[in-house]
Amino acid sequence: MSMPKDINHVRILSAPDKKQCLDAVQLSQLEESFRKWAEGSQRRDVCLSRRRILLIFLLIRYTGGKLNEVLALDPFNDIDHDRQLVLFYNTDPDSETKSRQVQISESLSREIQSTLADPAFKDSFPNLFDIDPGFVRRKFYERAEACGFLKHLGGPEMIRKARAVELMHSNMPLPAVQMMLGHSTPNLTTSFVSFSKDEIRRIIKLFMERESSRKTSARNSFFGKIQEILSGTIQARVELATIGGYKVTTMITNESLEQLGLEKGKLITAEVKAPCVILQKTVEEPVCSAENRFNGIVVRINKGKVSSEYVIRISDGTDLCSIVSTKSAKYLRLKEGDTVWATFNCFSVVLHAE
């Protein structure tokens, strides 16, 4: 059984309402608006000023940092481009955490480095982010309205919230999201295994690069640690535990096991394509041959003429996507809010090592 017994079966993160925060598509639209605006003036000084605002937006957009944290940065010294890390200093005197490192993708690091290489930045703005927060907010609101969004949804705090929702809906584990956003005590109580802060940082780094490159068509990803390997004559069964406390079982050849260098305790990513996820509308755990079984709630349905997409949210906030034929969907009679079991067998799981 894949479901942990000690987990509280509630939705850690509710489905985002369009009135509450921007979704991933809208965030991309907002980013594109900022980029076009930043290069949309013939005056050199105006372009430099706008590119400074773009940098602030990108840092909030991809690190989930607070506005005061970003404005406190010395981007020439507080960004480690070799390790793709941003060092935030906590300006709250009551906080126990004085600083934190946030991982960014290699592509974003290169873009920031290239932008800062322009000597005009240092000449025009010796203290690059020494800027009125109110002015920054106004520019953020303007870009949101230019996209047709409600003004407040473009505010720095709302972008930080939207980033958290985006990460969760992209299946970054909750403790990793908490650490990235600077929460002092990531929630690890539901895990079957202990994940160190260093391991969570490695998971964040892996996620950032995958998000940036998007080289896989698989919709469902699980980040976890190998718990058990049972080798047979030809194949091996590999079980991994996620930070959320779930177990995922896969079957691979012994040759693949050796090529990937898999061993107990190694961090790994497991992916499952949406058509491999079978849905069963039942309250009780289904009796079936699928080793991987997850109970969740239907949060989104996208019906097509030939196939239909269902998004199921399990208790740790992970979203599972299932693609079924529209003919089969009629028999399921599922609607948003329904409880359902999502299942897939061990041969449907593909492992990706770091």
Domain boundary among 150, 169, 188: 169
Same domain assignment for residues 160 and 296: no
pLDDT of residue 348: 94
Asked if residue 217 is part of any domain, the answer here is no
**Residue 34 sits in a domain of what CATH number?**
1.10.443.10
Domain match, 165 and 301 both: no
At 265 the pLDDT is 87
pTM: 0.66
Same domain, 41 and 155: yes
**Residue 319 included in any domain:** yes
Indicate the residue among 116, 143, 169 that finishes a domain: 169
Flag whether 152 is in a domain: yes
Strands 235-242 and 247-253: antiparallel
Domain count, the chain: 2
157 and 36 share a domain?
A: yes
Kindly state the tokens that stand for 25. 């598509």
- Could you say which of 169, 190, 207 is where a domain stops? 169
Instruction: List helix spans (H) across 15-155.
Output: 24-38, 44-63, 67-71, 106-116, 119-124, 133-146
Would the pLDDT of 318 be above 70? yes
Q: For position 60, what pLDDT does the model report?
A: 96
Q: Has residue 86 been placed in a domain? A: yes
| pLDDT tens-place string over residues 113-164 | 999 998 888 888 878 888 999 999 999 999 999 999 999 999 999 999 999 8
What gap in Å lies between CA 84 and CA 167, rounded to an integer? Answer: 18
Residue 11 lies in a domain: no
Indicate whether 44 belongs to any domain: yes
- With respect to residue 56, please indicate whether it lies within any of the assigned structural domains: yes
Structural domain containing residue 310: 273-344
* Averaged pLDDT for residues 257-267: 90
The domain that contains 300 carries what CATH number? 2.40.50.100
Q: Is the dihedral of CA 103, 107, 110, 111 positive or negative?
A: negative
Is the alpha carbon torsion for 132, 133, 136, 137 positive or negative?
Answer: negative
pLDDT of amino acid 315: 79
Q: What is the mean pLDDT of residues 291-302?
A: 93
With respect to residue 103, please indicate whether it lies within any of the assigned structural domains: yes
